Amino acid sequence: MKKIIALTSIFLSVFVFHNQSSKAAKTPYQTIVFASAVNYCGTEYGYITDKLAFDLIVKYSKEKHNLEPYQVATLMQRKSWAKDTDDFIDLHGGCEKINEVVWQSLDSKPTGFKSLMNGKKDYEYYYDIDL
């Protein structure tokens, strides 16, 4: 009986930790790494420019952690930032997988008159995704 309980708890802990949404970034640095990974993949596939990517990450981090642009830039200057971003991309199946999820989110963005009534911010289509 104890073995069954132990195996069940191990399975559940691995399942829960592995399937946590990327939206669950706890620290400002984790948020920057996540958004940087999405931005990098988007620029590699050409559906987002570097300028737009930085503007979106600043707005997103402002809402999530009340960060100013200089704080975003400072976090991006950490020595481990590039490696952490690369590791995040690898962990989530590469740019192809990340872009697939982002494209699904962007496809849900309303157009025409519906877009006038849409209260969702642009960066939410890029970053409020489940990886």
pLDDT digits (tens, 9 = 90+) for 1-47: 444 444 344 443 333 333 444 455 689 999 999 999 999 999 999 98
In degrees, rounded to 5, the angle at the alpha carbon of residue 118 between the alpha carbons of residues 38 and 114 is: 115
Domain annotation covers residue 81: yes
CB atoms within 10 A of CB 91: 12
Domain annotation covers residue 13: no
Domain annotation covers residue 55: yes
Q: Determine what percent of the chain is predicted with pLDDT higher than 70.
A: 79
Domain annotation covers residue 9: no
Domain that holds residue 81: 22-127
Domain annotation covers residue 94: yes
Joined tokens for residue 109: 């963005």
Cα distances (angstroms) measured from residue 105 to each of 18, 117, 119: 21, 18, 15
pTM of structure: 0.73
Q: What total of structural domains would you count in the chain?
A: 1
In the chain, what are the helix, strand and coil shares in percent, each to the nearest 5? Answer: 75, 0, 25
